[in-house]
Amino acid sequence: MPHVPRLFCSSSTESGDHCGSEMRPEKIGERVRVDLANGDPYYLISLDRWTCSGCGISVLLSGPAQRPIAHHFEPDFDEREFATTVRLAR
């Protein structure tokens, strides 16, 4: 039986309390474009979006074996569709 992670929210609510609600998978396999810190496109990857049932914050997660779907140097990179863009930290 595969291991299914249990994620809990660590954000703070408006009153300053710790949320602590369990997060649930909202979308498995969301296509995300990863940009470099300077804003240049780098690659596309498929990530899973998990959302907090309490405060609504969401996070994107990848597994240890996930690899990019496409890289910026591929001819059709700019034509590929994606749902979200994230930027790498410096």
**What are the residue boundaries of the structural domains of the chain, listed by start?**
7-87
- Quick one: pLDDT at residue 2? 65
For 19-67, the pLDDT digits (tens) are: 888 999 999 999 999 999 999 999 999 999 999 988 889 999 887 778 8
CA angle 37-85-56, nearest 5°? Answer: 115
CA 44 to CA 53: how far, in whole Å?
28
Q: Which residue has the tokens 């995300």?
A: 32
> Residue 34 contacts by C-beta under 8 Å, 6 or more apart in sequence?
41, 42, 43, 44, 45, 68, 85, 86, 87, 88
